[in-house]
Structure 1
Amino acid sequence: MNRKTLVLPAVISLLTPVLAACGSSDGGSGGDAIVVGTTDGFTASSDTPAPLDPAYAYDVGTWNVLRQTVQTLMTQPRGDGAPEPEAAESCRFTDTGNERYACTLREGLKFANGDPITAEDVKFSIDRARAIKADSGVFALLSTVQLVETKGDREVIFHLNGPDATFPFKLSTPVAGIVNSDDYDKKKLRDGFEVDGSGPYTLKAEVKDNEVTEIAFTKNPNYKGLLKPKNEEVVLRSFADADAMGAALEKGDIDLMTRAMTPEQIDKLSDTSSDDIDLIEASGLEIRYLGFNTNAPQVKTKAVRQAMAQLIDRASLVSKVYGTQAQPLYSLVPASITGHSNAFFNKYGEPSKAKAKATLTDAGINTPVKLTLNYTTDHYGAATKPEFEQLQKQLNDSGLFDVDIKGASWDKFQPAERDGEYAVFGYGWFPDYPDAETYLSPFLDKDNFLRLPYANNEIRGTLLPEARREADRLTASDSINDIQDIVAEDVPLLPLWQGNQYVAVRDDITGGEYALNSASSLQLWELGRGISG
């Protein structure tokens, strides 16, 4: 086994140009389909009838499907840096205040079925997502759009309701994907697992009992854009657990596996000598955190949340569950992102039972405080339960809390959280794009995707607009730091750790180092089949 560590550059300014990456990216096309394993599940239910509709989808698994099939005006590059035109030939702000953004479409764009794409299709797609306002909250990514205007067949103009230097990044996310009005109703979501777009691949899903078993991505002959697929077909196969996925890789039934591998699998792949499988490690922007329903009686008093922040030992948690595969996190913004500060460490310092007890006593809170920590059993990997067992132990060992933990499958967990059924819950976050703002607005702004009742007027009315205004992201850091300090004081969310990302790939597959970008998005077009050895 050969271990490769891919070191991506630090996230840089939105305006910094990106140099083309070099490497073994032309491993050839054709031949057998490349098979990629994942533990992500795709289920249609009464709560989530339209998991793959761009106006609804808002998790890393469904976005990884849509990024292959639904084209966006802009796209995120292999590594970090400014987004680049994809369906667009060019895009730019046309004013000095970052409030008017114009794009010109590439000539000859077509949907996969051959229908021509015009500026009206772009307007339809953006307006549709904004109008439906799906309960996933993904529409909030387009919250700064006031009006979409078209000029002729190829020009689209976005009039924004305030300065938003991050808007080009938002146009690279699947919610801004271009869809055909013949296939998608303007007023309602498209149920099931069909996706029709103009991306590099078309999609065919195999479904059993309303759950996808695998998805075949076939190269779209009508695709015209920035991306250059290096294969003819990729199959994404869902596994019930990481052990089954790992066994399939060892047997050669799949060519590559990605999230979510277990810490034990990663350690084994790191230590084992084999000529057949490479483990590729890259710095990741995934974070994990606890969220609070601040209207719930158990955690409504800020002192309870502050005491938890004072007690939890992140270093011990990471060491016992994830080892070297994660790092303690003291802010919602991870350490590799411009604008990060260690706000929680600055406020609470090292874990302290005495300080936590004083906080609760001063607020008149009787101890032990009874709580249930809720987590999802099947979305973030097998280590989630051990992680919550450690959190439970840390809090209960203090004598200040009486904590139970409770798991639920993702299709039950997500709707229950949105309906406010949980006082405390665990979530992960993969960034919409590599910028500090995407670790703050989705949680703290109006229409946040968690439906958190917490609302801070200074954050929403002043600091978030200021952070969006600055094209120079270093300049935006002052507002971003202030937001992080307020979050550390009020604790509507409690950051725990940030993790690396890993790909295990058989050695006859090329492009594995680019299979995931810095935002943990799958880039299946980068994969090719080369020569073993």
Structure 2
Amino acid sequence: MKRKPLISTVVAAIVAPLLAACGVSDGSGSGSGSGGDAVIVGTTDQVTASGEAPAPLDPAYAYDIATWNILRQTVQTLMIQPKGGGDPVPEAAEQCGFTDTRSRRYVCTLREDLRFADGDRITSKDVKFSVDRALSIQADSGVFSILSTVDSVETQGERKVIFHLNAPDATFPFKLSTPVAGIVSAREYEKNELRPGFAVDGSGPYTMEAHLEGDELRSATFLANPHYTGTLKRSSEEIELRFFTDAASMSAAFDESDIDVMTRTMSPSRIRELARAFTDNVNLVELPGLEIRYLAFDTDAPSVENKAVRQAMAQVIDRSELVSKVYGTQADPLYSLVPASLSGHTNSFLNKYGEPDTEAARSLLEEAGVTTPVKLTLHYTTDHYGPQTKQEFAILRQQLNATGLFDTAIVGTPWKDFRPAQMKGEYAVYGMGWFPDYPDADSYIAPFLDKDNTLNSPYVSSKIRTTLLPESRSHADRIDAVSSLTAIQDIVAEDVPLLPLWQGKQYVGAGDHVTGAAYVVNTGASLQLWEIGRGIKE
């Protein structure tokens, strides 16, 4: 039956962390799905294996939202972020916590009778193997840097794991909730080599069957893991995740009732269309979002190595116009790497540069002796962040060139080629998006500014790396870290190794027969497929 392309709007509120405990199961992992056909979820994310990235689903390599969305369903972590938000809670662990006052010794006790999906028991040695493996391989994706504060991992008996940290790190419980800390088996994963292809073996709520076209994952079928022991209560025994090449084809499949749920990324025009219409057969869920978009710079590249060039760009880019023309109410201008909704945010770029000002930018360039117009090429990915990215970069080009200070071109490249080229330093200026590893300001700072950063950026601020970042991590109460975090953001605004543009909201479209749509995506844009099912939830 064809679904009418109309929708009613439901805005999902953030549920208090205390209420999240209502979804905790008795640990049996049996779930309460209503049976029947699989719930089919659509996404425009792409997962591809290539010579540059042959192991996209290895937890020691994977470091983007698409691959993490698969691993979060299949590979269990010691800690997990509760569906209503808040601090992480034990998952594969029965309990975890710091045992010292300096946040340098973190101890976890595993659940009893924890098993991989094949039935093999999980012990503390498997946890140690998994973390040591990620740190040993040091994949060029940079994901291992999340665990950079781990000095050593010790086991005591079959259930106790002790993490000795090389510096105080109050964010460590969050890091243990990320897929790079996922528990894998030495029988399936080599200690010093990545696992190529699309196979995933873990102890999460689901197992995964991959369906391929060449070197691309076209769909993934998630089946209930009969040996799962953890806190999550499955609402469906089978879920299919389909990968669409663009937002238009995903929307068409939804209108034809070929899929039950649309996730990221719907086009802005589609969201506006759905939000204006009203019927009873589908819901539009609007969720708080921590996604950001930014321009990044290879600070060693001749065209932008002079800080004044980057500062001049920060001085003239009009974020309000950009958001208004492309995203409307679906995004907000962003004046820092840290989103406005997180503790520690400060509008460093607005404080330093104020409103767009061509003459102020001209003065910056003249004082630095930079000849104008500065020739630039802005690179963007054509298929990773949604169909509106091209329009966004066209507006950025127009804004820069309108000043007469820049001669800007834009070039779009598919993600499978864009990301390797960016990592090799082939782009002087390029656009990226970021979904946090965990909902803390640290996750918007360390991945870009610390050693072994995810962008392979040559930019180094010794004050950030050696003083401010460690200082911010020493505070268990994150309010106490605000002064350090503010200082970091001010340095970024001065040096402009990255230029924040906007912060976005999240949207899910779901048929009215789908339950749990308000929780299928968390604030970090990670899928929680165990939350959705068919029919009325008891």
Once residues 28 and 64 of structure 1 are traced to their aligned partners in structure 2, the CA distance between those partners, rounded to angstroms, is 21
Match of 2:159 among 154, 158, 175: 154
2:12 to 6, 22, 26: 6
Summarize the alignment of residues 50-449 of structure 1 with structure 2, pairs less than 5 Å apart.
Answer: 50-449=55-454
Q: Secondary structure at the residue paired with 1:437?
A: helix
Displacement after TM superposition at 1:531 (Å): 4.9
> Could you give the per-residue CA deviations for residues 411-469 of structure 1, whole angstroms, max 9, x where no partner exists?
11111111000000000000000000000000000110101100001000000001111
CA distance in 2, matches of 1:399, 1:434: 40
The 2-side partners of 1:236 and 1:20 are apart by: 25
- Give ranges in structure 2 of 5+ residues lacking alignment: 1-6, 26-30
1:520-531 equivalences in 2 (<5 Å): 520-531=525-536
Contact 2:314–2:499, Cα closer than 8 Å, also in 1: yes
Deviation, structure 1 residue 277: 1.3
Aligned match for 1:468, one of 457, 465, 473 = 473
How far apart in 1 are the matches of 2:43 and 2:270? 14
Closer, same or farther: CA 322–292 of 1 in aligned 2, 3 Å: same
SS at match of 1:475: helix
Tell me which residue corresponds to 2:28.
none
Per-residue deviation, 1:222: 0.2
Residues in 1 aligned to 2:35 and 2:302: alpha-carbon distance in whole angstroms: 59
* Counterpart residue identity of residue 430, structure 1: F
2:32–2:234 CA contact under 8 A, matched in 1? no
Shift of 1:2: 1.7
Distance (whole Å) between structure 1 residues aligned to residue 62 and residue 416 of structure 2: 13
Give yes or no for the alignment of 1:40 onto 2:48.
no
- 1:91-123 CA distances to partner (integer Å, 9 max, x unpaired)? 000000000000000000000001100000000
Which of 507, 512, 531 lines up with 1:507 in the alignment? 512
- 1:237-289 CA-to-partner distances (Å, cap 9, x unmatched) read 01111111011111111000100110011001101222211100011000000
CA–CA distance in 2 between the matches of 1:92 and 1:22?
22
Tell me the residue number matched to 1:483: 488
Displacement of 1:201 in angstroms is: 0.2
- The C-alpha deviation readout for 1:491-521, integer Å capped at 9, x for no partner, is 0000000000000000000000000111111
Question: Aligned to 2:477, what secondary structure does the other structure show?
Answer: coil
Q: Is the CA contact 1:27–1:511 (under 8 Å) kept in the aligned structure 2?
A: no
* 1:22, distance to aligned residue in structure 2 (A): 6.5
Amino acid at match of 1:158: F
Q: Check conservation: 2:126, 2:183, Cα contact below 8 A.
A: yes
AA aligned to 2:66 is G
Q: Percent identity?
A: 63
Instruction: Compute the displacement of 1:9 (Å).
Output: 6.4
- TM-score, length-normalised on structure 1? 0.97
Which SS does the other structure have where 2:400 is aligned?
A: helix
TM-score by length of structure 2 reads: 0.96
What's the CA shift for 1:368?
A: 0.3
SS of the residue corresponding to residue 442 of structure 2 reads helix
Aligned length: 525
C-alpha contact 2:379 2:431 (8 A) present in aligned 1: yes
Inter-CA distance 312–6: structure 2 relative to 1 (3 Å threshold): same
Report deviation, 1:79: 2.3
1:453 aligns with 2:494: no
Change (3 A) 1:21 1:125: closer
Instruction: Give the partner amino acid of 2:170.
Output: A
Question: Equivalent residue for 2:3?
Answer: none
Counterpart AA for 1:264: S
Alpha-carbon distance in structure 1 between the residues aligned to 2:402 and 2:237: 55
Contact 1:39/1:239 (CA < 8 Å) preserved in 2?
yes
The 8 Å contact of residues 290 and 496 in structure 1, kept in 2 or not, is answered as yes
Find the aligned partners of 2:394 and 2:310 in 1 and give their Cα distance.
Answer: 19
1:519 matches 2:517: no
The separation in 2 between residues aligned to 1:156 and 1:217, in whole angstroms, is 29
1:31 to 32, 36, 49: 36
